Amino acid sequence: MANDRAHDVVLFGATGFTGALTAEYLARNAPADTRWALAGRNRAKLEALRTKLAEINPACAELPLLHADVTDAASLRAVAAATKVVITTVGPYLQYGEPLVAACAETGTDYVDLTGEAEFVDRMYLAHDARARETGARLVHACGFDSIPHDLGVFYTVKQLSDDVPIKIDGYLRVGATFSGGTFNTALNALARMGPAARVAKQRAAQEPRPAKRKVRTPLGTPHRIPASTSWAVPLPTVDPQVIGHSAAALEQYGPDFTYRHFVAVKHLPVLAAGAVGFGALFTAAQIPPVRKALSNLRKPGDGPDAAKRAGSWFSVKFLAEGGGKRVVTQVSGGDPGYDETAKMLAESALCLAHDDLPTTSGQVTTAAAMGDALLTRLITAGLKFETLS
């Protein structure tokens, strides 16, 4: 990438809830020589945020403010061409995300987002991976709670196993947190688009090269009692297994035959049953446009919990792994997953791409494939826990 760009990192969507938290994290933690800027369509809101950031770090009083609008392709291209890395928190990404991905692919600019929308990730691969490979852009989706703890957690686990034997890993998520209006609306939209998402996934599978002489599987799995635990596991059909599968396909250290299954852990069977009923009701409601719209109005995008609620939130992901007769148990854990830790992970991903010595990659890549050890080190330093339990 050219070294003569005006900025190292540009944050687009900084005036939203998660965007502002990401801006605050950068204000506190970005190296002093990082040239970063804020981008958005409302200059008054950007100026107000810059004033707030200057209270955290006086140097932020000089942050450049750039005009960018998802309906103005020229503005997005100008922003992309002016920086090494773009961070975007502007979602739902299926609705608003593609113009910026296109601009970054065209200008050879690295890109990070916090999407959990599997359909969006697949559509962006089909539309922009090839051009990004030509220009050298690294398009890295899912750089928040979706899917860094899971993707890098598996990466961390695999490093403790031999790379010449079949590897099987099960991931079990526990979480205590409140999710945003944006996350809720994204989930509603995903439930309403399961058919189109499945068709796009099939198109990608038909087009994407597969690793030679290696197998990668991410089956849904079935409910079961978690080994050496009183809790139950329920299959979790999020974007995370998809991301992990692409990391496994890209990295030979995941072995000749890799399998990953993804679950949420619940303590009691009634909770499992209630969750299944609730999911069924939400799925049914999402298929009816007027009902879906009414539900979406209950939690507006941009809404989120206050600092006190976030302080009491937490997550953990435990990985049970087996390869070549060796068993390993690891865990990734942290604080508030949907906001504070997501802002941290998103910002550190961008700083990693901007500053660190990384493997040579391009096109649509995962956090493990693009940043691997460098991002793992950054996140551990920033306070996320990656532990080997046994």
Would you list the domain boundaries of the chain? 7-144+340-382, 148-334
State the pLDDT confidence band at 236, using cuts at 50, 70 and 90: confident
| pTM of the model as a whole | 0.92
pLDDT computed for residue 318 by the predictor: 97
Higher-confidence position of 177 and 205 = 205
Nearest-angstrom CA–CA distance, 317 and 138: 27
> What would the pLDDT profile of 332-375 be if each residue is shown by its tens digit?
999 999 889 999 999 999 999 999 999 999 999 999 999 999 99
> What would the pLDDT profile of 6-47 be if each residue is shown by its tens digit?
999 999 999 998 999 999 999 999 999 999 999 999 999 999
Q: Looking up tokens 């290696």, which residue turns up?
A: 214
pLDDT at 328 over 90: yes
Helix, strand, coil fractions of the chain, as percent rounded to 5:
50, 20, 30
Nearest-angstrom CA–CA distance, 246 and 248: 5
Q: Which fold is adopted by the domain 7-144+340-382?
A: Rossmann fold (3.40.50)
Residue 147 DSSP symbol: B
Q: Which of 4, 339, 352, 309 lies closest to 152 in space, CA to CA?
A: 352
Query: In degrees to the nearest 10, what's the CA dihedral of 302, 307, 311, 317?
Result: 10
The whole-chain average pLDDT of the chain stands at 90
Six token digits for residue 181? 């209006």
Share of the chain above pLDDT 70, in %: 86
User: Lowest-pLDDT range, 180-194, 204-218, 219-233, 374-388?
Assistant: 180-194
Using alpha carbons, list the distances in angstroms from residue 317 to 35, 81, 101, 176, 235: 34, 38, 30, 12, 14
pLDDT computed for residue 292 by the predictor: 46
> What would the pLDDT profile of 256-300 be if each residue is shown by its tens digit?
999 999 999 988 655 555 555 454 444 454 555 654 465 455 555
Give yes or no for a contact between 134 and 104, defined as CB atoms under 8 angstroms apart: no
pLDDT at 157 over 60: yes
Give mean pLDDT, residues 51-72.
97
* Antiparallel, parallel or unpaired: β 385-388 and 326-334: antiparallel
* Antiparallel, parallel or unpaired: β 215-217 and 257-266: parallel
Nearest-angstrom CA–CA distance, 112 and 306: 25
> What would the pLDDT profile of 92-127 be if each residue is shown by its tens digit?
899 999 999 999 999 999 999 999 999 999 999 999
